[in-house]
Structure 1
Amino acid sequence: MEKELNKLDILKIKTKKSIPSLFTLSNMACGLMALLSVAQEQFVVGCYFIIGSYIMDILDGRVARLIGAETEMGIELDSLSDWLSFGIAPAYMMYEFALKGYGIVAYPVVLIYVICGALRLARFNLKSLSGENTKKFFQGLPIPAAAGVIVFFILSYSLIEDDIPAKSINILSKQMPFLYGIFPFIMIGISLLMVSSVPYVALKSGNIFKIKSPVSLLVAVSIIFLIIFYPQNSLFIFFILYALSGIIYFFYKLFFKRNEEN
Structure 2
Amino acid sequence: MNEISQRRRRFRAVPVRYIIPNLVTLLALCMGLTAIRFAVEGVFEIAVLAVIAAAILDGLDGRLARALRGTSRFGAELDSLADFVDFGVAPGLILYLWSLQGVKSLGWFAALVFAMACALRLARFNVMSDDPHTPAWHAHFFTGMPAPAGALVALLPLYLHLSVLAIPMTRGLIPFEIAYLLFVSFLMASRIPHFSGKKIGRIPREYVVFVLAGIAMLALLLVMFPMEVLALLTLGYLATIPLAIRRFKQFEAESPQNSGNIVRIEGTNSQG
Please tell me the residue identity of whatever aligns with 1:137.
F
1:230 aligns with 2:225: yes
Match of 1:39 in 2: 40
SS at match of 2:121: helix
SS at match of 1:189: helix
Match of 1:242 in 2: 237
The structure richer in helix per residue is 1
Q: Which has the higher mean CA deviation after the structures are superposed, 75-84 or 47-56?
A: 47-56
SS at match of 2:129: helix
Please tell me the residue identity of whatever aligns with 2:152.
G
Match of 1:22 in 2: 23
Q: Counterparts of 1:237 and 1:124 in 2: how far apart (Å)?
A: 28
1:152 deviation in Å?
5.0
Match of 2:267 in 1: none
1:249 deviation in Å?
3.3
Conserved in 1, the CA contact under 8 Å of 2:161 and 2:167? Answer: no
Conserved in 1, the CA contact under 8 Å of 2:159 and 2:230? Answer: no
Match of 2:188 in 1: 194
Conserved in 2, the CA contact under 8 Å of 1:16 and 1:69? Answer: yes
Unpaired runs of 5+ residues, structure 2, are 254-272
1:80 deviation in Å?
0.6
Q: Counterparts of 2:119 and 2:205 in 1: how far apart (Å)?
A: 36
Match of 2:131 in 1: 130
Going from structure 1 to structure 2, the CA distance change for 1:236 and 1:32 (only over 3 Å counts) comes to same
Larger RCO: 1 or 2 (CA < 8 Å, sep 6+): 2
Going from structure 1 to structure 2, the CA distance change for 1:98 and 1:75 (only over 3 Å counts) comes to same
1:139 aligns with 2:139: no
Unpaired runs of 5+ residues, structure 1, are 160-167
Please tell me the residue identity of whatever aligns with 1:242.
Y
SS at match of 1:130: coil
Q: How many positions carry a matched residue from both structures?
A: 237
1:234 deviation in Å?
2.3
Q: Counterparts of 2:160 and 2:13 in 1: how far apart (Å)?
A: 47
Please tell me the residue identity of whatever aligns with 2:245.
F
Aligned pairs for 1:112-261 (under 5 A) are 112-131=113-132, 132=134, 134-159=138-163, 168=164, 173=165, 181=174, 182-203=176-197, 205=198, 207=200, 221=214, 224=218, 227=222, 230-250=225-245
Q: Counterparts of 1:235 and 1:183 in 2: how far apart (Å)?
A: 17
1:16 deviation in Å?
2.6
1:155 deviation in Å?
3.6
Q: Counterparts of 2:49 and 2:224 in 1: how far apart (Å)?
A: 18
Going from structure 1 to structure 2, the CA distance change for 1:41 and 1:64 (only over 3 Å counts) comes to same
Question: TM-score, normalising length from structure 1?
Answer: 0.76
Conserved in 1, the CA contact under 8 Å of 2:113 and 2:185? Answer: yes
Going from structure 1 to structure 2, the CA distance change for 1:251 and 1:32 (only over 3 Å counts) comes to same
Q: Which has the higher mean CA deviation after the structures are superposed, 30-39 or 112-121?
A: 30-39
Question: TM-score, normalising length from structure 2?
Answer: 0.73
Conserved in 2, the CA contact under 8 Å of 1:139 and 1:199? Answer: yes
Report sequence identity in percent: 26
Conserved in 2, the CA contact under 8 Å of 1:198 and 1:247? Answer: no
SS at match of 1:89: helix
Going from structure 1 to structure 2, the CA distance change for 1:180 and 1:10 (only over 3 Å counts) comes to farther
Conserved in 2, the CA contact under 8 Å of 1:72 and 1:129? Answer: no
Conserved in 2, the CA contact under 8 Å of 1:33 and 1:46? Answer: yes
Please tell me the residue identity of whatever aligns with 1:80.
L
Report the RMSD for the aligned CA atoms in angstroms.
Answer: 3.5
Q: Counterparts of 1:234 and 1:64 in 2: how far apart (Å)?
A: 30
Q: Counterparts of 1:185 and 1:212 in 2: how far apart (Å)?
A: 45
Q: Counterparts of 1:235 and 1:228 in 2: how far apart (Å)?
A: 11
Match of 2:270 in 1: none
Q: Counterparts of 1:206 and 1:42 in 2: how far apart (Å)?
A: 38
Conserved in 1, the CA contact under 8 Å of 2:54 and 2:86? Answer: yes
Please tell me the residue identity of whatever aligns with 1:93.
I
Going from structure 1 to structure 2, the CA distance change for 1:41 and 1:77 (only over 3 Å counts) comes to same
Please tell me the residue identity of whatever aligns with 2:102.
G
Please tell me the residue identity of whatever aligns with 1:11.
A
